[in-house]
Amino acid sequence: MLASFLQTASVVIAAISVAIGVTAWRRSALGQKRFELAERVYELFLEARDAFSHIRSPFGYGGEGSTRNKREGETEEETQLLNNAYVAIERYNNKAEVFSKLIPLKHRFSLYFGKETAEPFTELTSIINEIFLASRQLSRSWRDQGRSPMSPEEFEKHLERMHRAEGVFWEGAEDPDLLKQRIDAMVAKIERTCESVINPRRNIRTVAAGAFAEGRSFLSFRKM
C-alpha cells in the first residue's frame, strides 16, 4: 500500500514539475519575445522621427522633386512649382523602408502589450497622410498663386489653406510647430511602453504592471 502510494505520488510530483517547467519556459520565451519586439519598435520609431525631420526639412537640394510624373503641357514655371510641392513625397519614398518595417508591427505590438499601446502606430499613419495631403494642397496653392482670379474673400481663404499646408509640409514653418509636437509626443508614448520592458524600474508599481501584462499575453497565447 505504502509503496503504491509513494509511486503514485512520485508520478504526480513529476507531472507537476514538468508542467511548472513548461510554464516557466513559456513565460521566459514570451518575456524574451516582448523584449525583442519592444527594442525593435522603439528603434524604428526613433528612425521614423529622424525620417520626418528629413522629409519636412525646409532646406532643399537642386533637382529635388524631379521624380514626379510630369504632366503634358506644363510650363517650366509650373514644373518647378509642382516639383517643389512633391519634395516631401519624394523624400518619403526615399525613407519608405523605415515605415514599411514599422507599420506592420502594429497588431503584433498590440497583442503583446495591449490594444491601447497601438495608438502611436495610428498617429504615425495619420501624420504620413497629413504630409501627403499638404503636398497635394500646395501643388494647387502654389500653382494658383497670382494666376487664378480670386475675390478678396477667396484670396484670404486661399492664403489660410496654403499657410496651414506649409505648416505641415515644412518643419518650423509655424511657431509652435504643432506637427513636430505630435511626432515628439508619439515617440515619447512608445518610449514609455517599450522602456518598461527594455529597462524596467524595479518598484512595486512597474513590477505589478509588468506581471499583469505578461500574464495577459500568456493567457492570450494559450487560447491561440
- 181: Cβ–Cβ under 8 A, 6 or more apart, which residues? none
pLDDT (tens digit per residue) in 68-89: 998 888 888 889 999 999 999 9
How does pLDDT run across 16-47, given as a tens digit for each residue?
A: 443 344 344 344 555 788 899 999 999 999 99
**Structure confidence at residue 23 (pLDDT):** 40
φ/ψ of residue 171, rounded to 5: -70, 130
Cβ atoms 83, 5 nearer than 8 A: no
Q: How many helices and strands (H and E) does the chain possess?
A: 8, 0
Contact 61, 214 (CB under 8 A): no
Kindly report the length of the chain: 224
Q: Which three cell numbers stand for residue 214?
A: 505578461
C-alpha cell at 93: 519614398
Q: What is the pLDDT of residue 8?
A: 56
Do residues 70 and 79 lie in contact, with contact meaning Cβ atoms separated by under 8 Å?
A: yes
Please give the pLDDT value at position 12: 45
163 has pLDDT over 60: yes
Three-class SS state of 172: coil
For the chain, percent of residues with pLDDT exceeding 70: 75
pLDDT at residue 54 above 50?
Answer: yes
Average pLDDT, the chain: 81
Burial 122-134 (b: 16+ CB within 10 A, else e): ebbeebbeebeeb
**Can you give the pLDDT at residue 198?**
82
Q: Buried b / exposed e across 200-214, counting CB within 10 Å, b at 16+?
A: eeeeeeeeeeeeebb
Percent of the chain with pLDDT over 90: 53
Model confidence at 202: pLDDT above 80 = no
Which of the four pLDDT bands, split at 50, 70 and 90, describes residue 158?
Answer: confident
Structure confidence at residue 21 (pLDDT): 42
Residues contacting residue 222 through CB under 8 Å, at least 6 positions apart = none
Give the integer Cα–Cα distance in Å for 90 and 33.
35
Kindly indicate the confidence band of residue 197, based on its pLDDT and cuts at 50, 70 and 90: confident
Contact 120, 190 (CB under 8 A): yes
Residue range 110-125, pLDDT digits in tens: 999 999 999 999 999 9
Q: What is the pLDDT of residue 28?
A: 53
